[in-house]
Amino acid sequence: MSDNSYTAFNAMADIFTAPGKALENVKNHTAWLWWPLLVSVLLACAMMAYYYSWVDFDYLVEETIRQQPVERRAEAAEGIRNFMKPGSTMMITMVAIVVMTLVIYTIQSTYLHLANKLTAGAEIKWGQWFSFSAWTAFVGVIGPLAAFVVIFMADNNQLAQHELQPLSMNALFIHAQAGDPWFNWGNALQLTNLWMLALMSIGYARWTGASMAKSVIVAVLPWALIFGIWAVMV
């Protein structure tokens, strides 16, 4: 049961400490989704804006070239140097963060809506699943905060963009170097993504009444397919 005295701010704290309680209460407060959505997007944009204004941009351009596959590096170098400018790169990144966040939430909401229809049949609207996506992804704010810490502790302003992801599988376990086959795969998968999948499993079970096993399968399946296929291709 939801608590009438419960607010979006309570949920923003509880999603970290008492996720079951938070997800139970946000289910019937779809309008609350703007809080985790805006905080997540604005924090990510603020971090990248600060990074681009702080980093040695000439170094960043050359590092971007170095991260290209060896066989394409020479061919891509001129195009990257011509394309990457501080102002335009910052604006493109800001727009990409907003657009990709909305696209990902839309796709995920549609998937969860269809999964519920097929596996549980609970009376849950698409908009509620969009809210669900925003709330379960809110733990991702740990990523930009960790990136700020990395920047503040850096010895100089020659810091590659992938180094802003200390919680990535590459930084924690794989340790692949730029140009290595597993480099992009490892940097794309974050520890916070696994946390989000755990929250999705808990939330799907609570919202639909499905078993935890079924909920884990529903939550994890798209990610397992994407990263599994990517791993095979690597």
Q: What does the pLDDT look like over 180-225, one tens digit per residue?
A: 889 999 999 999 999 999 999 999 999 999 999 999 999 999 999 9
Q: What is the reported pLDDT for 3?
A: 65
How far apart are the C-alpha atoms of 107 and 112, rounded to whole Å? 9
- Give whole-number Cα distances, 62 to 7, 118, 160, in Å: 47, 49, 10
Hey, what are 152's tokens? 């503040």
HSE of 212, CA atoms in CB hemisphere, 13 A: 4
With a cut of 70, list the residues of the chain below it in pLDDT: 1-3
Q: What is the reported pLDDT for 67?
A: 83
Residue ranges of alpha helices (H) inside the chain are 8-17, 19-26, 34-54, 57-66, 70-83, 86-119, 126-136, 142-153, 169, 183-188, 191-208, 212-233
- Give whole-number Cα distances, 205 to 11, 43, 148, 154, 202, in Å: 18, 30, 34, 42, 5
pLDDT digits (tens, 9 = 90+) for 51-66: 999 999 999 999 999 8
Who's near 109: CB < 8 A, 6+ residues apart?
126, 129, 130, 132, 133
Q: What is the CA radius of gyration of the chain?
A: 20
